[in-house]
Structure 1
Amino acid sequence: MRLVPQSLRLQIVCLVLAALAVAQGVTLVLLEDQRNLAVRAAIGDEATGRAANVVRLIEKAPANLHEQIVRAANSPLVRFEIGADPVVDHVSHDARGTTEARIRALLDDDFSREIRAEMHEIDSSALPLPYLEPGMAEQHRELMRGQMLTVELELSIALAGGDWLNVSTRFERPPFQWPRFATLSFGLSAGFILLALFWYFLARVTEPLRLLAEAAEKLGPEQGGPVLINSGPCEVRELVQAFNRMQDRIFRLVAERTHILAAMGHDLRSPLTAMRVRSELVEDDETRESLIASVEEMQHMVEEALSFARGLADAEPEQRCDLGAFLETLRQDMPNGYVLNHGSSVKVSLRPNAMRRALRNVIENAQRYGTEAEVTYANEGGTAVIRICDRGPGIAEPELERVFDPFVRLETSRARATGGYGLGLSITRGILQAHNGDIVLSNRPDGGLCATLTLPLDAAERR
């Protein structure tokens, strides 16, 4: 898979080059086949022309010169022989009659004797041909470049005295050649097409997609995300428009939710303060303490709701930092500290204040319900991973995901008197998701709970 390019530009470039190469290969195969037919026709024309000339000489020369004429006509590729019987002992296999017609056209118009012709594929045989003299055999070997012969043309032409002029020629298929003009044509075609694709079409398609990916990576709950400019083909423009509409809807939904929570929390403060003052005027001590405790509990819930709303609405800028140094600073700032196992350097981009709040929520939970928190961090598969583990009772498997819902508390595993109001993990997940990360809870095999927080590495770190 490493050999497959990941970039859309490179994939299209490779696809275009592969298509051009296949088309060029098919073209060369077709041209080679046409070249074979042309060579075969040329050699056939040569053999038939020489055969007609030899017949004409033999017909006009004395009988004692016939053998000399045949020997003079022989060549490394064509053999002439006069015999009582024809080599082609059947009617011509020249289906279209082109060879016979060509010979008759070269001879006198009144030539009416039988002409037989046959051209067929033969089994490859070693060079040279067995009937050649040593000198001609050497010439034939050099002419054929040591390759096998695959095509044979045989002619039998009836002579006036009753004998037959037998003509036999064998020739090879021309070797496959990659012509220089084909290489030049392929290079120019690929260059022009890729130049047009890369500098015009690919830039118009991939650049808006790259900007869209960057905008999606930066998309968060805070208002003010970048509005992408419509550019490129119509399909890409429709995608950009859909993203802009989706981004606007997300911002409006989050803003409405945040405003509702903030307004409710703010509006509840005044009546709660009045209730607290009035509860102080109650004469019965037990009733007064009960009312005061209830009011304080409601005030804590309001503060948690406001904190949750602030966590959604924060638009703090990201900062690039070393994750180990960030966790060490947080350990020193927390009153109870925690166990930090230092690892290799991991660079991340995060919103410091929001991330401190998220980590503090999880670490304080581990300290509250598991006596101590052990924190480790590492770069795992191109992702920054933080694990916060404790030695507490853990959480039932069906509840591991439900605890992230707002105001959800697990009475069986975490006493109400020691905890908050079920918003800490919701705030933490919201902050991490705003960083394009997440948090997952799991029970440890040897007891306790482990929270795994993931964050994307800094862009420079990923490269």
Structure 2
Amino acid sequence: MMGIWQRSLAARFILLLLLALALSQGAGFLISWDERGQALRSAAKSEFFSRTASLTLLLESTPSALHSDILNVSGTNYSRFWISTEAPRDASSWWQDARAQLLKPLPNRTAAPGDAEEREVSTKLTAVPSQAIESGLVWSQLPSTSWPLSRPALYLPLEAANGSGLAVRLADDVWLNAVYAKSIPNSPLTLQSLLSLAITALALSLIAIVVARGITRPMRHLAAAAELLGRGESVPHLPESGPDDIRQTVEAFNRMQARIQRFVDDRTRMLAAIGHDLRTPITSLRLRAEFVTDPEVQEKMLATIEEIRSMTEAAIAYAREEATVEATRAVDVSALVESLCDDLAELGMQVSYMGGPKIIYRCRPDALRRALRNLIENAVRYGEQARVSIHHAMEGIDIIIEDDGPGIPNHAREQVFAPFFRLEDSRSRDTGGIGLGLSIARAIVRHHGGDISLNNLDAGMRALINLPLTR
């Protein structure tokens, strides 16, 4: 449950809405339940008084021979009526008689849906201890103003049984006894309330899912676009729609992307322009060096000018390649690495591919191939041979290049990635390049969202390319 809460916005919406629904419904039930119970008890008491009054008038207007039949058909699942010759004296004794009347089945009744209710009343009356009802029972005088007839009656509240007792004197000096007992649910969680709550919860859940999807869909698109942008891919302009907060976020992302692209383009153009403009003074210096009469001085000047020219050409080439946007596509990285190792081995380099699983990966294959080539050539140049392998990592792909060279001092592990930086001690200028190989390799890998790290081994060095898995 905690994992769903942390990962899914829709789950948070649904859980919060259901929690709010449960709290609001619970508060509503607690507030209204007591009022509902009082209203039900008042209505039942009023109906019981009215029924007893109507039966009193009916018995007084009919022959006594018919009274027994009238009383039998007047009983309900929750009430019973019977006649006694004397007024009730002891409330406890009268309740025992009333309890026996309630527990007797109604006469001349066939099985009907109401019988279940009658059995429920009998079960609940049996479950209530007699002492709980008999304690504190006292008859009270019910004035004529408190019930439908103009004569007084005796009233006995039966709170433990959720009912009432009445005794009314008839015209022929006999007493009509009436008892009513009906249990009112003591829990607000009735079948109807649970069904209503379930329907409301389902409706709110569907609404929450729709709302959450409307929010998370543009956010997922934004996250995917940010991931692609971080990997150096060209991201189309995102549609700026939805609520104000989301729309403003998308607008800010589009503006950021445009600014980054303008910055990269301006930097690339500036680098290319500088390299191009340097060609003219370099050529002029070379021509002037030809007129130097001292051969030793002339040779040093020409070597320096050639070095400047090489660096300028490399900068121009680097700028041109930076300006070229290669399409991203899915390739078999293991096949790409193996083919590169084979190509370099055919050129006479000591390169061996140690194998690896087949991995399909979305990348810019030409750029990734160039980064790998730079690292492998460095390994062969300074470590005599290169061993290349590919592995699955926890969150990506690891491409490992190992050599048997002298390695790199710990303090220079980051410096070697700086443009035009070369190690004086372990990397010779005469045999090395101009210092852009590692810079270009790291730039390419970081454009894919990964990174390159260099670590010294007991004998040699290991270059590790980590590429994250794309989502």
| TM-score of the pair, normalised by structure 1 | 0.68
CA distance, structure 1, for counterparts of residue 53 and residue 326 of structure 2:
99
Among 226, 231, 234, the residue aligned to 2:241: 231
- 2:441 partner amino acid: T
Aligned-residue offset at 1:69: 11
2:263 matches 1:253: yes
Residue 4 of structure 1 is matched in structure 2 by 4
Identity across aligned pairs (percent)? 34
Residue 173 of structure 1 is matched in structure 2 by 185
Aligned-residue offset at 1:249: 1.3
Q: How does 1:400-411 map to 2 (within 5 A)?
A: 400-411=413-424
Residue 119 of structure 1 is matched in structure 2 by 159
CA distance, structure 1, for counterparts of residue 142 and residue 426 of structure 2:
105
2:429 matches 1:431: no
- 1:236 partner amino acid: I
Aligned-residue offset at 1:176: 3.1
- 1:404 partner amino acid: F
Distance 1:107 1:324, change over 3 A: same
Unaligned runs of 5+ in 2: 93-133
Residue 91 of structure 2 is matched in structure 1 by 86
CA distance, structure 2, for counterparts of residue 102 and residue 433 of structure 1:
96
CA distance, structure 1, for counterparts of residue 68 and residue 145 of structure 2:
21
Aligned-residue offset at 1:255: 1.6
Residue 15 of structure 1 is matched in structure 2 by 13
Q: Which moved more, 1:73-82 or 1:273-282?
A: 73-82
Aligned-residue offset at 1:235: 2.7
- 2:90 partner amino acid: D
- 2:387 partner amino acid: E
2:313 matches 1:271: no
CA distance, structure 2, for counterparts of residue 308 and residue 372 of structure 1:
27
- 2:369 partner amino acid: R
Residue 105 of structure 1 is matched in structure 2 by 147
- The number of equivalent residue pairs is 415
Aligned-residue offset at 1:283: 4.0
Aligned-residue offset at 1:359: 1.1
Aligned-residue offset at 1:323: 0.8
- 1:85 partner amino acid: D
2:335 matches 1:325: yes
Residue 321 of structure 2 is matched in structure 1 by 311
Residue 302 of structure 1 is matched in structure 2 by 312
- 1:443 partner amino acid: N
Aligned-residue offset at 1:211: 4.6
Among 452, 455, 460, the residue aligned to 2:464: 452
Distance 1:53 1:424, change over 3 A: same
* Native 8 Å contact 2:71 2:81 kept in 1: yes
- 1:272 partner amino acid: I
Distance 1:114 1:447, change over 3 A: farther
Residue 440 of structure 1 is matched in structure 2 by 452
* Native 8 Å contact 1:85 1:164 kept in 2: no
CA distance, structure 1, for counterparts of residue 252 and residue 341 of structure 2:
44
Aligned-residue offset at 1:241: 2.3
CA distance, structure 2, for counterparts of residue 40 and residue 447 of structure 1:
94
* Native 8 Å contact 2:408 2:456 kept in 1: no
CA distance, structure 2, for counterparts of residue 59 and residue 26 of structure 1:
54
Residue 365 of structure 2 is matched in structure 1 by 352
CA distance, structure 2, for counterparts of residue 372 and residue 93 of structure 1:
112
Aligned-residue offset at 1:274: 3.5
Q: Classify the secondary structure of the residue corresponding to 1:19.
A: helix
Q: CA deviation digits over 1:77-118, x for unaligned, max 9?
A: 557897533346659899xxxx9689931343x42x664425
Distance 1:193 1:351, change over 3 A: closer
Q: Classify the secondary structure of the residue corresponding to 1:441.
A: strand
Q: Which moved more, 1:348-357 or 1:218-227?
A: 218-227
* Native 8 Å contact 2:327 2:364 kept in 1: yes
- 2:325 partner amino acid: A
Residue 133 of structure 1 is matched in structure 2 by none
Among 291, 302, 311, the residue aligned to 2:301: 291
Q: How does 1:328-339 map to 2 (within 5 A)?
A: 328-334=338-344, 335=347, 336-339=349-352
* Native 8 Å contact 1:78 1:169 kept in 2: yes
Residue 124 of structure 1 is matched in structure 2 by none
Distance 1:396 1:80, change over 3 A: farther
Aligned-residue offset at 1:324: 1.4
* Native 8 Å contact 1:339 1:375 kept in 2: yes
CA distance, structure 1, for counterparts of residue 313 and residue 461 of structure 2:
27
Q: CA deviation digits over 1:243-280, x for unaligned, max 9?
A: 22212211221122112221222222233234334434
Q: CA deviation digits over 1:413-444, x for unaligned, max 9?
A: 5444443343222212222233x322231425
* Native 8 Å contact 1:311 1:427 kept in 2: no
CA distance, structure 1, for counterparts of residue 88 and residue 235 of structure 2:
98
2:385 matches 1:372: yes
Q: How does 1:153-164 map to 2 (within 5 A)?
A: 153=163, 155=165
CA distance, structure 2, for counterparts of residue 70 and residue 245 of structure 1:
89
Distance 1:250 1:407, change over 3 A: same
* Native 8 Å contact 1:222 1:251 kept in 2: no
CA distance, structure 2, for counterparts of residue 93 and residue 306 of structure 1:
112
Q: Which moved more, 1:99-108 or 1:387-396?
A: 99-108
Distance 1:223 1:278, change over 3 A: farther
Residue 134 of structure 1 is matched in structure 2 by none
* Native 8 Å contact 1:83 1:164 kept in 2: no
